[in-house]
Structure 1
Amino acid sequence: MTSQATIPVVVNGACGKMGREVIKAVAQAEDMTLAGAIDKKPDLVGQDIGEVIGYQPLEVPVMNDLEATLVMAQSQGQAVMVDFTHPDTVYESVRAAIAYGVRPVVGTTGLSPEQIRDLAEFADKASIGCLVVPNFSIGVVLMQQAALQAAQYFDHVEIIELHHNQKADAPSGTAVQTAQMLTEAKKRFNAPLVAETETIQGARGGQTPAGIHIHSVRLPGLIAHQE
């Protein structure tokens, strides 16, 4: 049984790149207890998550039954689920967490605005806190604030984001959030000066309703970067 002084944490996507880091952080935190490790890789189910990620044994097995893990975590206290999974599954996982009274912290990107609104309404009705965080980096927050300041003086902006080639969604959640913040600060960008013609479709990147172009680069070995 988890101590009342600690927060039970379930990590969904525990064996992925970010999930592994969350597991280590929770294991090292004095005010948190690892209450569950979820991953869909069948060859890892049942193994100690600490050993799977090259850390010390944690006596928490990898499981692939999200709902059973949520029930177990919720019985231990005010539980939290950290989700670093896939755009195709994150919405249902977060709804399940809210339904079982577990507070989601979502690092997975790719949720549509409609899905985020639905989750917000569902969480409000359940009186459950829910965080959807496109990026946890302090540097990104500072970059976004700098972009907002620059938007007061410049009428043209393009966003270029780079990630490794295993990232499933494009553009990144950080790029989408940055574009939304800029749009709220200023109605329209990039008024056309000439009649553009693309000889290869998409050469100018995607474009938001506010006129902001977003370019997504996916190559092996790249570390998350935005400019």
Structure 2
Amino acid sequence: MIKVIVSGFNGSMGQKAVAMVNQNKDFQLVGVFNPIIDSVDPLDYGLEPDIKVYKDLSKIDIDADIWIDFSIPSAVFDNTKFAISKGIRPVIGTSGLSEEQTTELKLLADAKSLGGIIASNFGISAVLMMKFAQTAAKYFDQAEIVETHHEDKLDAPSGTALNTARLIHEVQQKDEPINPNESDPLGTRGGDYHGIKIHAIRLPGFIADEEVIFGSDGESLTVKQSTTDRASFMKGVQLAIKEVMKRDKLVIGLEKII
């Protein structure tokens, strides 16, 4: 039985993670964490009475195998660092980690031979889209990324969009060309990652969509995915939990294990 703690358990993604753990015969929910809650009574959240509820990171002393994190960008680094320090394998779905923070966390986990994963997206369609985009990048010199999320998403660009840009850049091994004469006083050309433009849209009515548009002389290619229900992410989380239990290093990106 794989014992699991869920951080950010009463958020929209956290609730789905709790439900997924409870529905899986190979997993056992042993604790939940959120520093902004008032009550630590599991019954107040519809949890079984033996589930430990924590609001203070330093008070967590429970035996667990997996730390699932769907908290907030400002907390995820400290949460993950704590989990690693306690020998709990991190499965991190919260975006907002910088490259420097991700590197530090990987070094800490690898030094302890602790498996784990930091994933910008646990949606299978999103991960496949990133893999397809990386393949296409071999044949196109220019690409732009458009990502659309719900209006409450706190970080921009999304971790998925940024990771997609990284994967494209890994293949191209050079900055994409830019027009030195371009004028954009309103910043409408989007963010820039090694010349790859990223456009972030935040609107009600969406959950998570992304498209990568490649252009070359005489042709273009668009790779697009849409998420219409957050429950779809749980297939990737479930896959990740089982996979990291077999590993002794921290993996960056679900695409590395699919």
What is the 5 A alignment of 1:41-56? Answer: 41-48=36-43, 51=46
Aligned to 1:173: 159
**TM-score (norm: length of structure 1):** 0.86
How far off is 1:217 after superposition? Answer: 0.7
Contact 1:48–1:62 under 8 Å retained in 2 = no
**Runs of at least 5 residues in structure 1 that lack an aligned partner in the other structure:** 1-5, 52-56
Aligned length, in residue pairs: 210
How far off is 1:85 after superposition? Answer: 0.6
**Runs of at least 5 residues in structure 2 that lack an aligned partner in the other structure:** 212-258
What is the 5 A alignment of 1:14-163? Answer: 14-48=9-43, 51=46, 57-59=47-49, 60=51, 62-69=53-60, 71-74=61-64, 79-163=65-149
**TM-score (norm: length of structure 2):** 0.76
How far off is 1:73 after superposition? Answer: 2.5
Amino acid at match of 1:40: P
Q: Over the residues paired in the alignment, what is the CA RMSD in angstroms?
A: 1.7
What is the 5 A alignment of 1:182-201? Answer: 182-188=168-174, 190-193=176-179, 195-200=181-186
Percent identity reads: 40
SS at match of 2:121: coil
CA offsets 1:192-216 (integer angstroms, 9 cap, x no match): 356100131x21100012x100011
Is the counterpart of residue 220 in structure 1 residue 211 in structure 2? no
Q: Where does structure 1 differ by over 6 angstroms across 4 or more consecutive aligned residues?
A: none
Structure number with greater CO (CA < 8 Å, separation at least 6) is: 2
Aligned to 1:206: 191
Distance 1:30 1:50 in 2: 21
Contact 1:8–1:32 under 8 Å retained in 2 = yes
